[in-house]
Structure 1
């Protein structure tokens, strides 16, 4: 089993650009903590001297104390300023790294829950941002202060150093004793929160169905029950934490008694210079042990972070479904076709969807894909857009001379400018129509965007400044399909790939979209169940699990299963 330190260390590579800032945060925290300890020691030294010698501390003492107070004040402000700024940078770094990992490994190919992925991207990373920006520095500063205090104690009063070592060992034991139960309970708490997140995502995604079937009371009951379970587990974890904290407070009290008792046991009496020095030594010992206690408390509270770090680390280590481009090839100008050559593909450990499947789509040709549900039409679409790589075989773009350019040898930027894909459940983004049409395209003028709306017959019911709402919630299915197609056309691709875009649409919307596809000046590959849509294509290919394509005459294509 990977250690907690190993799990947290797995996330350091994405944070490499911030290491200098993390080290700077540690240095500021260490200086601030040492200044606080020095204020306590200096104050105790001055008070002890005043009591024993019945005279005010010298001017240098006052100046040193004032300087330390000012330094501590400045460093406290600076530490929080630096750590908060660093926390936002850590948050951005981890989220960018996680996004890159998901971009390399599309979640849809694996049986994963979007609620869990959202929880990792939002909740887990938010828990970790302050740990790397602040907590790491605080733990390092506490251990540094203890080491410094221990050395000073051995130099000034060795018996105090011995007491400090014993107390630090006791603190470590209490941390170890409470860590196991706290970790187990924390893991249960986190699991409960994940399941609650999944339930809520499911409920929000199926809101219409819940209202239609009158399930809202059941959803609320399940949410309340889950919250109560999570709260009970949280209270148990907090009770253990309070018990361990109480034991540490007893240890700190024992440090004071131990230093005095050990001094008396060795010397018999305490007087003169030793009496004036004893309060300062006690403060030094308590400050050192308290730093260890604070570090131990922080470490004992890390179990939720460990679980979060493990999930984020697993997300970052996802195996890619698209391999990095090696020795990229430049794409030629002019029209491009698509070639599938003995392509095989499977989802996870399931049966192959495609096996040895081949097809040639000439540059500028319009081809429809037919076949029953589960035959692999959507898989062909995803492979042609290189959302995934095939398990075997080759998918390539082909120029007019018949030269092939494998997708695995094409830079992603070049590929995305050349190939546009519109899926059945294509999502619109929150924002205006203008924002959505301009996504992923080079700079486009409003006039160019309006022409795209006109091409899909949307210019008479929506404007560029209209707000779509989340996922285009204010639009019908046909309207969303038209805007998704317009967004793809704004990129001016040479290959347009469409997956069941006319499914469940009214006849008018299907006619408009079919007209756009028929008039598209470039290569079109469109998967569909609908006979009316496929009837617009000069060639219809039946997608089968094995073998080469099965062609059907477009004019006589009958009902499809």
Structure 2
């Protein structure tokens, strides 16, 4: 990745940070002023030393006052720069996180069948790496470039030839850094890949700890982790050697700049030079050298920083791709109102494919009447989960219409219903429904309007969870403290708290014991509304009014209620 491409990658993230642009500019102004104050202190001190050595007298009072004021200004600006950059870093972090969440809320679950949680976790880590770049590093690069330009102008005022030395030295230093960047970038990318692979393996291992302990894989995991760490360390040492070579070359160039300016001062101190004005060049020489070295060192530092941005550029590229994810559902421009009362679901000539071109449905139709309880059955991969996601408008179909219908047969297309109204009317419980870290009460109230504890207790009792958990119990991350059946009951309770008119469940009883399955089937059977339940379990399907067989290539796989027994026999036996 070239420096131009790197700049483009970072620039892609500036639009989401538009509200923070003023803070970024303010950080640059404070950082630049602080850097210039420090340089002015060094130049002024060198000027005073040169005057004392050449003329043998103490600097005037104005010099002491100016130097003291600059020291005080530098101290204040250093504190202020840290305060501004850290506050800005937190705002940048929050802004990018919110932008990422918005992007995933529009595009997840992805039609690529990706592991969205893992992808989002990687990008979230990338955002944490980027926050200080926009809050501090960007301003630091700008301050270094500004200092170089001002030092170039200052050197030209004092001695025009010195300005040429500064310009040439800055160009050589920048070129050296850029030449060293290519191998450093290549090795850095390799190091990044090795560390990412190592992190992914460790994350997988931590997530599969039971399996690792059951199969006795602890020693193998540790051995692989140690080997991976050693490989990454060797790669890191190679990159460090290149960095040391570039730094050594920079020091040689700075030394050459100093020597060149001294030689130029000796040459120009003859007749007609500044030296003819009473040793002026000798008195100004320390200040000139200090200014020139500061300018060249600044451009060297900026070049070095730019060439070290390739790991951050990779992070910025992933974040940019994540926040640019295409939406899987279109915004509702002119929403329609939903009526009161029960609602059914209608699929009319619907086709849908995943991004990998896997066809899930082709010209598929079905209709579920209000308050009807219908099961969706079919072989694995037939499209049951796809129908569930489309009915909940987690995706939009490529062709056809999906709508809610009322008792009078009026149709309300999902893509014309406001998001809030749709989520109030339709609730979804997936097979691997995630519970959130926190209390049971907090989980039940996710996405629901306020409810008192009495109503929440009634729902827990309804799903048979009131005997083993309370509203104040912590459930752990993703409900890790609960069994599969307990998580299923709480996920169903969370949906029921919202009092939906259409309840959609996807294989909720797939891995449950018979007693838990019967209890959940009882809850579904007693639900006063429309139920759409995808399942391959006889117990669950037998309790429903009708079973629809999912057949993606069929134009209209409608199964009448009287054929339910035959369908169950074909699909389950």
Q: How does the TM-score come out when normalised to structure 2?
A: 0.95
Relative distance call for 1:54 and 1:68 in structure 2 (3 A) is: same
**Does the CA-based 8 Å contact 1:142-1:292 persist in structure 2?**
yes
Q: Deviations over 1:497-549 (max 9, x none)?
A: 00011112112211111111111111110011111111111111111112213
In 1: Cα distance, 2:300 partner to 2:45 partner: 22
CA distance in 1 between counterparts of 2:569 and 2:340 reads 38
Q: Tell me which residue corresponds to 1:385.
A: 392
Report the 3-state secondary structure (helix = DSSP H, G, I; strand = E; otherwise coil) of the residue aligned with 1:3.
Answer: helix
Q: How far apart, in 2, do the equivalents of 1:230 and 1:388 lie? A: 41
CA 1:111/1:225 → structure 2, altered by over 3 Å: closer, same or farther?
farther
Q: Please list every run of 5 or more consecutive structure 1 residues that lacks an aligned counterpart in the other structure.
A: none
CA RMSD of aligned residues (A): 1.7
Cα distance between partner residues in 2 of 1:242 and 1:47? 33
Residue 530 in structure 1 maps to residue 541 in structure 2: no
Secondary structure of 1:390's counterpart equals coil
**Residue among 374, 391, 398 paired with 2:381:** 374
For 1:507 and 1:438, the matched residues in 2 are separated by 29
CA distance in structure 1 between the partners assigned to 2:358 and 2:44 by the alignment: 74
Match of 1:147 among 142, 146, 149: 149
Task: Give me the whole-angstrom Cα distance separating, in 1, the residues matched to 2:259 and 2:551.
Answer: 83
Paired with 1:114 and 1:328, the residues of 2 have a C-alpha distance of 29
Q: Secondary structure at the match of 1:358?
A: strand
Report the equivalent of 2:556: 548
Q: Which ranges in structure 2 are unaligned for 5 or more consecutive residues?
A: none
Deviation of the 1:201 alpha carbon: 2.5
Matches of 1:509 and 1:124, distance apart in 2: 42
1:297 is aligned to: 304
Greater mean alpha carbon deviation, residues 408-417 or residues 255-264: 408-417
Query: 2:241 maps to which residue?
Result: 239
Map of 1:55 onto structure 2: 57
- Alignment partners' CA distance in 2, 1:132 and 1:472: 36
Paired position in structure 1 for 2:195: 193
SS at match of 2:431: coil
Q: Partner of 1:309 in structure 2?
A: 316
Matched, 1:87 2:95: no
Counterpart-to-counterpart distance in 2, 1:113 and 1:190: 21
Question: What SS does the corresponding residue of 2:524 show, helix, strand or coil?
Answer: helix
1:560 aligns to 2:571 (yes or no): yes
Q: How does 1:279-358 map to 2 (within 5 A)?
A: 279-358=286-365
Aligned residues: 561
CA–CA separation in structure 2 for the residues paired with 1:202 and 1:114: 15
Task: Output one character per residue of 1:368-388: Cα deviation in whole Å (capped at 9) or x when no partner.
Answer: 111111111111001111111
Q: Corresponding residue for 2:67?
A: 65
Matched with 1:470 is 477
1:223 alignment counterpart: 225
Q: In structure 1, what is the Cα distance between the partners aligned to 2:14 and 2:122?
A: 17
Q: TM-score, normalised by structure 1?
A: 0.97
What is the deviation of 1:424? 0.6
Partner of 1:128: 130
Listed as ranges, the matches of 1:34-45 within 5 Å are: 34-45=36-47
Indicate the residue corresponding to 2:34 in structure 1. 32
Contact 1:8 1:306 in 2 (8 A): yes
Out of 269, 275, 280, the position equivalent to 1:273 is 280
**Displacement after TM superposition at 1:121 (Å):** 2.5
How far residue 268 of structure 1 moved from its aligned partner, in angstroms, is 4.2
Alpha-carbon separation, structure 1, partners of 2:138 and 2:91: 15
